[in-house]
Amino acid sequence: MPYLEVDNVFKSYGPIKALRGVTFNVNKGEYLCILGPTGAGKTTLLKIIAGLLKPDKGKVYLEGEDITNLPPEERGIVYMPQGYALFPHLTVWENVAYGVLTRGLPLKRAEKALKAVGLFHRRNSYPHELSGGQQQRVALARALASGSKILLLDEPLSALDLLLNIQLRYELRKYAKNLGLTVIHVTHNAEEAMSIADRLLVLNKGKIEQIGKPEDVYLHPKSAFVASFLSDVVMFRAILIKRMNDSCIFKINNLGNMLIKCSNPPDKRVLIAIRPEDIKMDLTKKHPLNTFKGIVENVEFEGIKTRVTVRINEHTFFIDLMFVERVPLRRGSQVFVHIPPDKPLIFPLHDEMKLKELISR
């Protein structure tokens, strides 16, 4: 039996359809990340699971019991809201200890949680004496110390700088796993979600686009939306011109023909997506197939990788070169871009609509 079940949940605010038939399960002890753009319905979904909002339709089950109408305090689920609602007149220690005491739990929990977020030494400070990131860590400690078996975290790391975000995301997962907690962690940061989730749920406009292990979702995105939300894919419109056994030739306007491994294209007119790390680039033409001549527009050194922007007619390619494969480049250099036939992802053309909406947000 699944531990937590969300079954066909709908929720509207007047004319705004925030959730449109959401169904998924969470296993006991699982760390699930919900990933989606702003307005996708992530907070609404968490609030429904926490009992702070009633769905218009659909049910929430915990260990098989229908908890849809159960008050929040009887669910054993703690919800950490987006933004960190700390009591301003209480110290850091009091903020964390308050919930522990009202639940009759040992105070040691508050100490452990504050140590886990690295703020035990600031226990006598007031929230206004802390930075935004530190306040967020206190809110996190309060949720961790609550004794609830299910933690709903709404953008718990979004106010932190990158280094702290990376440090704390692993701490968070480790802490949850050590305590056997079940966590639903909402974020719009794909890298954060992929790096800590057991499973990833991609939500868009109130509907689930895809749910699965991070590697599976990344490698086999079901839609162009998922592909472009998880990485900076380069996208082209293309037309199928020839089908062979296990590959197809597509024509891309103002670029040329591209051979792609695929046995069953979704349509004659498609969208082709390629990830920057899958594109090859060289100063000479090394492959007879799928090689296009272009001009370097920009070179950004990013440490472990270099992001190169190459212009070929009206098309812009982003190419990520790893440190070891760096090529001496400057703006205006002529280069050859190669697309390995097994790398592109193919989606139906109507996926493009969703992408436009994503970009125009």
Ligand X SMILES: Nc1ncnc2c1ncn2[C@@H]1O[C@H](COP(=O)(O)OP(=O)(O)OP(=O)(O)O)[C@@H](O)[C@H]1O
Among 4, 22, 43, 80, binds Mg ion (CB under 5 A): 43
Q: Binding partner of residue 323 among ligand X, Mg ion, none, CB under 5 to 8 Å per kind? A: none
First to last CA, the chain: 39
Cα(66)–Cα(53) distance, rounded to whole angstroms? Answer: 15
Contact flag: residue 83 with ligand X (CB under 6 A): no
Looking up tokens 């050859």 gives 336
Among 5, 6, 33, 42, binds ligand X (CB under 6 A): 42
Please list every residue from 65 through 94 that binds Mg ion, using CB under 5 A: 82
Q: b/e for 113-130, b at 16 or more Cβ within 10 A? A: bbebbebbebbeebbeeb
Q: Binding partner of residue 38 among Mg ion, ligand X, none, CB under 5 to 8 Å per kind? A: ligand X
Q: How far is the CB of 140 from ligand X (least distance, A)?
A: 17
Contact flag: residue 228 with Mg ion (CB under 5 A): no
Contact flag: residue 54 with ligand X (CB under 6 A): no
What is the x/- site pattern for ligand X, positions 222-241, by CB under 6 A? --------------------
Q: How far is the CB of 160 from ligand X (least distance, A)?
A: 16
Dmax over CA atoms of the chain, in Å, equals 72
Can you give the C-alpha Rg of the chain in angstroms?
24
Q: How far is the CB of 44 from Mg ion (least distance, A)?
A: 8
Please tell me whether residue 198 adopts helix, strand or coil conformation: coil
Helix (H) or strand (E) holding 141: helix 132-145
Whichever of 91 and 189 has its CB closer to Mg ion, that residue is 189
Among 4, 44, 175, 181, binds ligand X (CB under 6 A): 44
Q: Could you tell me which stretch among 31-39, 93-101, 278-286, 327-335 binds ligand X (CB under 6 A)?
A: 31-39
Contact flag: residue 187 with Mg ion (CB under 5 A): no
Q: Quick one: 299 exposed, middle or buried, by C-beta within 10 A (0-12, 13-18, 19+)? A: middle
Q: b/e for 174-190, b at 16 or more Cβ within 10 A? A: ebbeebebbbbbbbbbb
Whichever of 43 and 148 has its CB closer to ligand X, that residue is 43
Q: Could you tell me which stretch among 26-34, 38-46, 47-55, 102-110 binds Mg ion (CB under 5 A)?
A: 38-46
Q: Which amino acid does the sequence have at 287? A: H
Among 5, 22, 36, 197, binds ligand X (CB under 6 A): 36
- Note whether 274 and 345 are within 8 A (CB): yes
Cα(25)–Cα(60) distance, rounded to whole angstroms? Answer: 10
Q: Which residues bind Mg ion (CB under 5 A)?
A: 42-43, 82
> Which residues lie near ligand X (CB under 6 A)?
13, 16, 18, 36, 38-44, 82, 188
